Structure 1
Amino acid sequence: MFFSTLLTIFSGWFNFALTPQEVPLIPWHENPIFQLPTEGDEEVERILEQYLEGLANRNVPINQQGVWIQTHWATLGDNRGTIPAPAASITKVATTLGALDKWSVDHRFLTNIYTTGDILGGVLQGDLIVEAGNDPFFVWEDAIALGDEIRKLGIERVRGNLIIVGDWQMNFKENNLTSGDDLRRALNSDNWNYTVETQYQGMENPPPRPQLVIEGENIFRDGLPPASNLLYTHSSKPLHQILRAMNLYSNNFIADHLAQQIGGGDQLGAIASKLSNVPPEEIQLINGSGLGVDNRISPRAACRMLIAIEQKIANHNITIADLFPVSGIDEGTLKERNIPFGVPVKTGSLAVVSALSGVIDTEERETVYFAIMNYANGLDDLRNRQDQLLTDLDNHWQTRPILPMP
């Protein structure tokens, strides 16, 4: 009796819950997923045609100019968009993507400081050892801060040598000997020149001027000496700040240094093509900086790499504007440009190459990605025309600035 009553209750409940009149019916074509703007844009096509006509009127061969404009859902503009072309520093977009694939956005490169011997009365009775940690952005300010930390640890003089372990590179110099001389100079303000003094004056909350005296020589070796004792570890800036500095100033040293750690140009290209879902032939790289016309990227691949970068940082408290310079906010490579406000971009230039790629946030089409690869003489004119193309797009849409996180 109990089970039959319970069955009756549940049967009535299920019949009530599934009454057709109670289920809201939404026509399939009105579902939000089917409202995504997947169609093209005739006005964008007209703007692109006008841009290409302007180049043709200047006798620039259109068959050597690449343009690609897309959203997540539609291709809006295309002129030789899938054909790889000399990309100059747009290559650094691939380097940015490869670095974010290898390390976390907050990764820090570590420079370890070791000693041999005891510290007696402020004097290290042995050697001071610096172990390179592949930091591509170790500069005067880092060395000055390092000197202050050594002072705090009770060392004012080193009886022995300054031993440098590994591939030591500082101030964007590849030469180990020169970088070693820079390190020694930075550790003692009595040896500073105008360049070091200028960098010190520009530091935020500068430490006391270091005055570490090293009696011995600079010695370079591959491994740590026996009986080395870890004294201190210096951490670099977080990776996303290093990448932004690289892209803001288009720093070739940082880019090539990172690419070498990733595996070189070929490996970087393979990683970038896989992550951005384009054929390998659309990303052909020989280094991470873009120096040389043999670094070739299609405009479509440049856009897809920006999308892949956004996916990499999606779960972190940064935007793409925290990785690339933003028009109207940053100078660097944007100092002479007239790009609409709030557009994160990467520029690229070689003798006859002018390239530009970036992201526009719009009300109508959500995020729009663009890449322009010009191959011609007259770089100033090419840049002005790129800026006008973006201005025309900005006038066509209701745009919103993409800004770095506060």
Structure 2
Amino acid sequence: MNLTRRGLLAGLGATVVVYPVLARAQAQIGAVAPVATLPEVLFDVEAAVAKAKLGGEVSFAVMDAATGAVLAERHADAMMAPASTLKVVTSLYALQKLGPDHRFVTRVLRSGDDLILAGGADPLLDTDGLARLAADTAKAWQGTPPKRFLVWGGALPRRDRIAEEQDDYLPYNPAISGMILNFNRVHLGWKAGQFMLEARGGSQSPRSYTVAVGAADRASPLFTYDGSGKKESWTMARSAMGKSGARWLPVRRPELYAGDVFQTLCRAKGLVLPTPEVQEAAPNGTEVATLSSAPLSQIIRGMLKYSTNLTAEAIGLSASGAASPQASAQQMQDWLRTILPEDHFEFHDHSGLSAQNRLTAVSLTRLLVKEGDRDGLRDLLKHIPLRDEKGQAKDSDITVLAKTGTLNFVSNLSGYAKAADGREIAFTILTGDEPRRAANEGRELPEGVRSWTRRSKIMQQAMIEGWLDGGPAQIAGPAVAAGQASVVR
């Protein structure tokens, strides 16, 4: 017999929302946990939901992290936009397909008198790393300077942006390519009406010559983009500039951007390269220099902390080897189906940026319980501090390791929470106002989204504290009652 919260409430004719709490299962994942009788209401979730005033849907699933016993749920099978919590799925997928020690390699090849910069889909390659590669190349190159300088980005399928529905100028929605530099972003700064575009790194920030920007006398839009010429061309609304400012812009021609920067860095070391050209065919030649990335596990740790969309796409596409982003998302979906054959989900990318992605709270929580320890995902998740009413981190006996997920009028949290006495839960909380999200698709900070997101996060924290601070009875429940409930299978 499968016993759910809705079934219990319907049978009791309850008008006050309480949550059934299942006894801690003694068997391993795949066993059936007995059902506990309803404890006293230690935390009124519905009151927290009402106080948040989010509208839309609030869905969650809470399970014992060791056994998978379902401890609490609310609309846990509702198909919701996962936003960046989808990166949890992508992380597990990449770890299992590539291995935690996998490294991405950027190569410089010599083919006759041609020099080829071959991208290896390294999502963390920055200007400082490219400078080291340029120095090694200049030192190793023998003879006359190259007659042609080619850049290859075919290690990944090419796409002008991750999600078409997002605004052109959003830096977290750049082009996808096997040649990645600075997350395929260029740094724009302006002062007294003058613009500066840089490939900004930690210690090296050469000028970018493949991107241009100018001011336009208009109130909106903030930016316009034109990729029809030899350069990527942006205009910025003069009314939004002020005296000075800075921001990142996405790069749509990553091979030429990286080639331009590499040319500058090589020149500084005495090797003069011709104007970069894009090479479509897979390169052949003798290796002149190489640069390896950090191991995949370290890359994933940073991705989960900073939620970098391009990193998620790069590791997901590398894991699948698919010919297109759409096919790659489908392969990840098929992989997850082998783990959760009866669950419902729909993927259209690896980062969660697409508005078409759908996932349920119960599916993501089951995945955390079943697969989270296999490749060390739990230890790669970000520590989420609990905060007081002023938003300041506060002392707490609860430790939260989780992944956030945010779109306009979508705010999610999924991971693990552990009490001081060792009780640990896996949980997923999904909140979303779909009509407002759809109405503000791709816009940067629409009216009301900041306060909406803040209220959602306050509610999420209240739920975690309520589930764990109520004491052992909140998790284990009182004496076992008749009946059984399904747990993770």
Distance 1:85 1:211 in 2: 52
Alignment partner of 1:182 is 2:258: yes
Alignment partner of 1:298 is 2:360: yes
Alignment partner of 1:163 is 2:166: no
Q: Is the 8 A contact 1:113 1:131 kept in 2?
A: yes
Partner SS, residue 368 of structure 1: strand
Q: CA 1:146–1:307 in structure 2 vs 1: closer, same or farther (change >3 Å)?
A: farther
Distance 1:393 1:156 in 2: 69
The structural deviation recorded for 1:236 is 1.3
Distance 2:266 2:102 in 1: 34
Partner SS, residue 137 of structure 1: coil
Distance 2:399 2:471 in 1: 14
Distance 1:160 1:250 in 2: 41
Report the TM-score, using the length of structure 2 for normalisation.
Answer: 0.58
Aligned residues between the structures: 325
Partner SS, residue 352 of structure 2: coil
The structural deviation recorded for 1:187 is 5.7
Match for 1:360 among 417, 424, 434?
A: 417
Which residue in the other structure is 2:80 paired with?
Answer: 85
The structural deviation recorded for 1:116 is 3.5
Match for 1:138 among 125, 129, 132?
A: 125
Which residue in the other structure is 1:348 paired with?
Answer: 405
Q: Is the 8 A contact 1:246 1:255 kept in 2?
A: yes
Q: CA 1:224–1:250 in structure 2 vs 1: closer, same or farther (change >3 Å)?
A: closer
Partner SS, residue 298 of structure 2: helix
Which residue in the other structure is 1:266 paired with?
Answer: 330
The structural deviation recorded for 1:105 is 0.6
Distance 2:106 2:39 in 1: 50
The structural deviation recorded for 1:396 is 3.5
Alignment partner of 1:216 is 2:216: no
AA matched with 1:219: E
Percent identical among aligned pairs is 20
CA RMSD, 1 decimal: 3.4
Distance 1:158 1:348 in 2: 48
Cα deviation digits, residues 286-343 of structure 1 (max 9, x gap): 1111113321111111112223442431xxxx5622x2211249xxxxx977795642
The structural deviation recorded for 1:39 is 5.4
Q: Is the 8 A contact 2:385 2:393 kept in 1?
A: no
Cα deviation digits, residues 163-220 of structure 1 (max 9, x gap): 11233232222857444333442564598xxxxxxxxxxxxxxxxxx62533312122
Partner SS, residue 372 of structure 1: strand
Q: Is the 8 A contact 2:118 2:283 kept in 1?
A: no
AA matched with 2:401: P
Which residue in the other structure is 2:372 paired with?
Answer: 310
Which residue in the other structure is 1:279 paired with?
Answer: 342
Partner SS, residue 289 of structure 2: strand
Which residue in the other structure is 1:371 paired with?
Answer: 428
Instruction: Please list, as runs of the form range in 1=range in 2, the aligned pairs for 1:227-266 lying within 5 A after superposition.
Output: 228-261=285-318, 262=320, 263=322, 264-266=328-330
Distance 1:223 1:336 in 2: 53
Match for 1:172 among 183, 190, 210?
A: 183
Q: Is the 8 A contact 2:106 2:290 kept in 1?
A: yes
Q: CA 1:372–1:99 in structure 2 vs 1: closer, same or farther (change >3 Å)?
A: same
Match for 2:95 among 96, 100, 119?
A: 100
Cα deviation digits, residues 80-126 of structure 1 (max 9, x gap): 11222111111111111211121101101122221145xxxxxxxx3
Partner SS, residue 62 of structure 2: strand
Structure with the bigger RCO (C-alpha within 8 Å, sep 6+) is: 2
Consecutive unaligned residues of structure 2, counting only runs of 5 or more, are 1-25, 155-178, 185-249, 323-327, 434-448, 473-489
Higher strand fraction: Structure 1 or Structure 2?
2
Higher helix fraction: Structure 1 or Structure 2?
1
The structural deviation recorded for 1:133 is 1.6
Q: Is the 8 A contact 1:337 1:383 kept in 2?
A: no
Distance 1:79 1:278 in 2: 22
Q: CA 1:40–1:348 in structure 2 vs 1: closer, same or farther (change >3 Å)?
A: farther
Match for 2:462 among 388, 393, 398?
A: 388
Distance 1:297 1:96 in 2: 16
Which residue in the other structure is 1:128 paired with?
Answer: 115
AA matched with 2:355: V
Which residue in the other structure is 2:378 paired with?
Answer: 320
Task: Pick the structure with greater CA Rg.
Answer: 1
Which residue in the other structure is 2:14 paired with?
Answer: none
The structural deviation recorded for 1:140 is 1.8
Q: Is the 8 A contact 2:85 2:412 kept in 1?
A: yes
Report the TM-score, using the length of structure 1 for normalisation.
Answer: 0.69
The structural deviation recorded for 1:52 is 2.2
Which residue in the other structure is 2:59 paired with?
Answer: 66
Distance 2:80 2:86 in 1: 11
Consecutive unaligned residues of structure 1, counting only runs of 5 or more, are 1-31, 118-125, 192-209, 330-334, 399-406
Q: CA 1:46–1:372 in structure 2 vs 1: closer, same or farther (change >3 Å)?
A: farther
The structural deviation recorded for 1:239 is 0.6
Q: CA 1:157–1:371 in structure 2 vs 1: closer, same or farther (change >3 Å)?
A: farther
Q: CA 1:267–1:116 in structure 2 vs 1: closer, same or farther (change >3 Å)?
A: closer
Cα deviation digits, residues 148-168 of structure 1 (max 9, x gap): 322443669834232112332
The structural deviation recorded for 1:67 is 0.8
Distance 1:295 1:338 in 2: 34
Partner SS, residue 245 of structure 1: helix
The structural deviation recorded for 1:45 is 8.3
Which residue in the other structure is 1:288 paired with?
Answer: 350
